[in-house]
Amino acid sequence: MLGTAVGATVGVTSLVLNGLAVWANYDAIWFTWWLGDATGALIIAPVLILWAIHSRVGWSRGQALEASLLLLSLIFLA
């Protein structure tokens, strides 16, 4: 979580210093940025770790089709 805090601090500070945000909103912008980074890390990191451990997936054709349809449904609904 330290990396997400550093990333949020650097990102929001650069926005403020470049005039794209105001200092008065720094804490709200920082929290939003940090929350997005932390959520992404909590969702993506486990997937990448599991994929690195078990890189070969032994799915049948039906399972691959089901996974593809689920992914397409998720993208459509999002």
Among candidate residues 45, 53, 13, the one with its CA nearest the CA of residue 29: 13
Q: Give the pLDDT confidence of 45-77 residue by residue, as tens digits.
A: 888 888 888 777 788 899 999 999 999 999 999
Q: Flag whether the pTM goes above 0.85.
A: no
% residues pLDDT > 90 (the chain): 68
Please name the residue ranges forming H helices in the chain. 2-17, 26-53, 61-77
What is the rounded average pLDDT for all residues in the chain? 92
Question: Where is pLDDT greater, at 44 or 13?
Answer: 13
The per-residue pLDDT for 45 is: 87
**In the chain, where the domains are located:** 2-77
Question: Where is pLDDT greater, at 31 or 78?
Answer: 31
